[in-house]
Structure 1
Amino acid sequence: MNAPATRAYRQIPGTYVFDGEHCRKGYALNMFCKSLDLDSNRVAFRADSPGYLQRFNLTDDQRRAVVDRDWLAMLRLGGNIYYTFKLAIFDGLTMQHVGAAMSADGMSVDEFRAMMVAGGRPVDGNRSIEEWSHG
């Protein structure tokens, strides 16, 4: 089995593959997000977010990402987009809102939507970390 650092997909910029390592790292975060499936949990979270988050064994960074609604940080910290999106829905956001918020260049929702309608991000310059310039 390859060590996680040698996996080719780790070289794709902005990609957080939900592999076994990521699953283990994000388990508590994803269970928190999954808990928002139940109305009673949404009510509890809305009433006392810090208290509700204490029910889960989140790292300090994960807790901060949830509180700050830092969508990209949640993915980096082991979040699965399907689970973290439950929090976005809780906030009344669409996937386009989350996609724009995760954009490195600070796109608006309308800019993100237009980019996706036009075919998404260009492949050139986005194939590997070595190509990726944060200029």
Structure 2
Amino acid sequence: MSFLVNLVLGLLFGIGLVVSGMSDPAKVLNFLDLSGSWDPSLAFVMGGAVIVAFFGYRLVLKRDAPIVGGRFHLPGRKDIDARVVAGPAIFGIGWGLGGFCPGPALTALGLGATGTLAFLPAMIVGMWAARLLALASPRPRTV
């Protein structure tokens, strides 16, 4: 059952990426180009996602447990360390240079976008390197 729920949610997410234009790197890069051909339409996509997440989390977390799954998996740490700053910064730089983030890149690959043939291997190598760095670096203990 969990597999089917995840499959349907993934397909819904992918369709949303295609419909919103997030799988088109030119549209993303135009959104980031504030001094040139700026396209504000993705701000509405992000705003809509923030609104849905804001109310969705409040509604879902009122439950004792998720509908599918044993328990909620929420982050336990609330502090900000170098990893919390560096990770999103590297993600943002990659997004700005390539015009893709992971979800839309996979969607664009399914649509036959040629830019993904260079982006996806680089993304996989970056994820692998980040995993190696995380395993090699000592993590502070939480109490």
Normalising by structure 1, report the TM-score.
0.30
Q: Normalized per residue, which structure has more helix?
A: 2
Higher-Rg member (1/2): 2
